[in-house]
Structure 1
Amino acid sequence: MTFELDRRTRRDSERRAVQAQDFFASQFARLAAEHGSMTAAGMAALSAPPLSLDVDGSVWTILRDGATVCARPGTVEDALVVTLSPAEFSDWAQNQITFNGLLVARTLQFRGGTLRDISIWDSLWITMLEGWPTVEAGLVFLDRSGAPLDLNASFTSRDDPAEIAHFLREAGYLHLRGWFDPADMAAIAADMDRALPHYAEGDGKSWWAGMNDGSRRCVRLQEFIEHSPTTARILSSDAWQRMRQIVAGQNRLAHVPVEGRIIEALFKPVGVKSGPSDVSFHRDCHLGRHAYVCARMTVGIALTPTSEANGLLRVVAGSHRVAMPVEIAKTEPYLPVVALPTEPGDLTVHLSCTLHESRPPVFAERRVMYTEMPLEPLDANRGAVDTSVGELRERVSDILRRVDGAVPAG
């Protein structure tokens, strides 16, 4: 069965204030009946501690109860204790924010556990809310004929569109070879150099990183489309539209005008000491709102070569199907990790639920552009949309600048 791309189960129009007392008195039992056994299996497999939530002085603890989970007033020995305000709890209970989102915002308060425990509970909570398993024995990857899938496969524009769309849904990512002219990639790299003087740290449209020599370097350009006619031409081309149609498959993608912040250009310099440059394994939905927006697709356009020797994009195959915790992916992954070496003009595509990381360059700067392709909005979601997580992501550079030597948690 082809994996479903549209993961959206919640609407911003249905968001409301959720009180902790009411949640544990009524909603938790329903969730436990639906996903408690899956959550308990994840707790056992990952040696997760009980989770105690302290909300305005009242404490509830989620813990294993045989083959399922239960919630009890008060805390227990060896629990991970997380302190949330009533507003934070309401958002957390509705997947508007995650522990990781609060961690990145530097507002998470916890004791009695580790960052590994926090990461595990972020995955367990999405299991509890949405039925996305944290562990799954015997996960297999199959092509359309039922044969084992080659996780290192790449595709050209001449390959079967149905095979390409299937691979994305099965594995959670794509490597598309030679989709654009390398000469255009060189022109765009030159546009980045010409655009750089138009950006300054703190301008709200660029990210900056601290270097080993003490200097500050720009690593991300928003609104780059205004500075690169070649990029605008590519994003308006028939080849780009055909790629969109292929990866969309039976789903419908939102129309995004070729203007404003449609695409970002990234410098990957050698010698970054701190800041949001090459980020270790994370999901694009890991700050929150998975159930409202996933699965979006992120397309990377390689402007310079990437390789195992000098750094590249790595993905965790199947991590859109199994919610392996971020901290586990960094240290002891139990799903296949796949490297995606690229040449100028290649594309990478990953789902917003797929764990991925950018390995830092070793001897030569890399350059790449990224753009998102969201699903067409749901009718009930066309009104006011929560933008807090997106705004948090945009503030990452400023947050890290105020915390010396910090890096984003994913």
Structure 2
Amino acid sequence: MPVALDRRTRRDADVRQVSMEEFLAVDFPDLVARHGEFVANGIASLDAPPLAVEIGDQCWSFTPDGATLAVSPGRAEGAVVVTFSEAEFSDWVQNQQSFNAMLVARELRYRGGSERDISIWDSLWLALLEGWPVVDDGIDFLDRRGEPLDLRRLFTPGDDPADIAHFLREAGFLHLRGWIDPSDMAKVSNDIDRALEYCYEGDGRSWWATLRDGTRQCVRLQQFSRRSATSVAILRGARWDSLRQALAGDEELVGPSADDNGLEALVKPVGVTVGASDVSFHRDCHLGRHAYNCSSPVVGIAVTASGEANGQLRVVAGSHRVLIPVEIAKTAPYLPVVAVPTEPGDVTVHLSCTLHESTPPIVEERRVMYTGFALPPRENGTNGNRKLSELRERVSAILLEHSVGPETRP
């Protein structure tokens, strides 16, 4: 069944300091009664080890117990052990940050297991908190009439908006053509060239990567609307608003804003060796806060063509419905992986909780812009998370500091 865009179940106004004792007494019994089966099924299907959580000098283990999840004091045999401070644990059990966020920040302390185990437990824990199944042998992809969905379908403005909205919710992504004049993309590419002249490392509005020859190149231009009147005109046009309405369906979406922070331009060169340029499978909510923000449609505009030669978007269809772990998606996906080759002016959409990646260019560079639509704000809904926002902006610097290649996932 397709899922609604609005999956927000938590509000920042309700965030509190949670100890392990309080979590086990107040939160865990209800969560395990409702979602324990999802966790137990995931552990069995993915051959996950138990999870042991250390806080100070105390330790608790989470293990399968028949068709559900159980917790007991001490370290279970064969467990992967994660060590938390009290503040880290409190954030983790409220989906304020994930294991992946702590891995990216080089702050996760664990032993007795692999990064694959950590990735699986990232998904298992979110399954416990949110009731999002990690495995589902019965998943299918159907159109509004109950017929098999063509996952490579391309939608135009002439298609039924209800079919567009349904496809997005069913598959987690879209490929669109005819919503933007392709001739505008040459103008946008020229705007990118001019904007690059004003960028320098440390300017606070650009990301940089190292190429094979040792040179540094700007790969992400933030605040791009300041430099591209053509792009702003696209985002303010009637056709773009009709796209917003088509994606929203029976729900509500706002934006995108044509202000300083509403648009980014990405340049994806050949031969990146260090830096966040072509990022392998990840969710945009994978640092945390899925339950506070998801799911928003993330919109890409192809400035140049994309494909196997110069890199392209690939998505894991249905990964907003089945919580396949990132490491499993990278090595042995059990959901369909779909490449989305584009022509200049094509539009791609993926939900913020859909797994996706950018493959690296082999022959020539690729250019793309990213913006998005958002769910309407809720009263006392979200104040954001400053730590995660700062972490996202530091990803490029962290990768450079640790000389990590482009396959690393933020």
TM-score tier by shorter-chain length is over 0.9
The match for 1:402 is 401
Letter of the aligned partner of 1:33 in structure 2? A
386-395 or 311-320: which moved more?
Answer: 386-395
CA distance in 1, matches of 2:376, 2:10: 15
Match of 1:35 in 2: 35
Determine the structure 2 residue equivalent to 1:155. Answer: 155
State how far apart, in whole Å, the 2-side matches of 1:91 and 1:239 are. 41
Give the Cα separation in 2 of the matches to 1:258 and 1:404: 34
Measure how far apart 1:2 and its partner are: 3.8
Q: How does 1:45-84 map to 2 (within 5 A)?
A: 45-84=45-84
Q: Is the 8 A contact 1:294 1:352 kept in 2?
A: yes
Q: Using the alignment, how far apart are the partners of 2:106 and 2:235 within structure 1?
A: 36
* Structure 1: 4+ residue segments shifted above 4 A: none
Output the amino acid matched with 2:211.
M
Partner of 1:166: 166
- Cα distance between partner residues in 1 of 2:267 and 2:78: 44
Q: Write out per-residue CA displacement over residues 204-239 of structure 1, whole angstroms, 9 at most, x where no aligned residue.
A: 111101111111110000011000010111111011
Q: Do the aligned partners of 1:103 and 1:409 also contact (CA within 8 Å) in 2? A: no
Secondary structure at the counterpart of residue 353 of structure 2: coil
Structure 1 partner of 2:221: 221
What code does the residue aligned with 2:269 have?
Answer: P
Q: Using the alignment, how far apart are the partners of 2:93 and 2:256 within structure 1?
A: 31
In structure 1, the residue matched to 2:206 is 206
Report the alpha carbon displacement of residue 28 of structure 1 after superposing the two structures with TM: 1.4
The answer for unaligned runs of 5 or more in structure 1 is none
- AA partner of residue 336 (structure 2): P
- Matching of residues 163-312 of structure 1 within 5 Å: 163-312=163-312
Name the structure 1 match of 2:389: 390
What is the alpha-carbon distance in structure 2 between the residues aligned to residue 338 and residue 23 of structure 1?
39
* 1:355 paired residue number: 355
Once residues 356 and 305 of structure 1 are traced to their aligned partners in structure 2, the CA distance between those partners, rounded to angstroms, is 18
Alignment of 1:319-330 (within 5 A): 319-330=319-330
Checking the alignment, whether the CA contact within 8 Å between 1:79 and 1:113 is kept in structure 2 is yes
Aligned runs of 1:111-122 on 2, under 5 Å? 111-122=111-122
Match of 2:17 in 1: 17
| Distance in 2 of aligned mates of 1:376 and 1:26 | 31
Q: Once the two structures are superposed, what CA deviation does each residue of 1:262-301 show, in whole Å capped at 9, x if it has no partner?
A: 0100000000001000000000000000000000110000
SS at match of 1:379: coil
SS at match of 2:400: helix
Identity %: 58
Q: Structure 1 residue 32: deviation in Å?
A: 1.1
Aligned residue pairs: how many?
A: 409
CA offset at residue 388 of structure 1?
A: 2.5
Cα offset, 1:406, TM superposition: 4.6
Deviates more, 1:372-381 or 1:328-337: 372-381
What's the CA shift for 1:390?
2.3
**Secondary structure, in 3 states, of the residue corresponding to 1:44?**
helix
| Pairwise CA distance, 1:119 | 0.5
Q: 1:92 touches 1:98 (CA, 8 Å); kept in 2?
A: yes
Q: CA deviation at 1:5?
A: 1.3
Q: What SS does the corresponding residue of 2:183 show, helix, strand or coil?
A: helix
1:313 and 1:261 mapped to 2: Cα distance? 22
Amino acid at match of 1:111: R
> How far has the Cα of 1:151 moved from its partner?
0.6
- Counterpart Cα distance in 1 of 2:310 and 2:400: 26
Question: Which residue of the partner structure matches residue 109 of structure 1?
Answer: 109
Deviations 1:371-390 (Å, cap 9, x if unpaired)?
121100112216x3323222
TM value normalised by structure 2: 0.98
Once the two structures are superposed, residues 274-330 of structure 1 have per-residue CA deviations (whole angstroms, 9 ceiling, x without a partner) of: 100000000000000000000011000000001133320000000000000000000
Equivalents in 2 of 1:350, 1:43: separation in Å? Answer: 28
Query: Structure 2: 5+ residue runs without aligned partners?
Result: none
2:95 aligned residue: 95
**Partners of 1:255 and 1:219 in 2: CA distance:** 25
Task: Give a deviation string over 1:74-110, Cα, whole Å, max 9, x none.
Answer: 1012100011111110000000000001101110110
Distance 2:300 2:227 in 1: 18
Q: Which one-letter code corresponds to 1:45 in the other structure?
A: S
CA displacement, residues 104-127 of structure 1 (integer Å, 9 cap, x when unaligned): 111011000001001000100110
Alpha-carbon distance in 2 for matches of 1:168, 1:58: 45
Q: Is the 8 A contact 1:28 1:71 kept in 2?
A: no
Structure 1 residue 256 displacement after superposition: 4.5
After TM superposition, give the deviation of residue 364 of structure 1 in Å.
0.6
Tell me how far apart the structure 2 counterparts of residues 115 and 52 of structure 1 sit (CA, whole Å).
Answer: 15
CA RMSD of aligned residues (A): 1.2
TM-score by length of structure 1 reads 0.98
Q: What is the distance in 2 between the residues matched to 1:406 and 1:145?
A: 45
For the residue of structure 1 that corresponds to 2:197, the secondary structure is helix
Alignment partner, residue 318 of structure 2: 318
Q: Write the distance in 2 (CA, Å) between the matches of 1:295 and 1:132.
A: 13
Three-state SS of the structure 1 residue aligned to 2:140 is coil
Alignment check: 8 A CA contact 2:255 2:372 kept: no
Structure 2 Cα separation of the partners of residues 293 and 102 of structure 1: 19
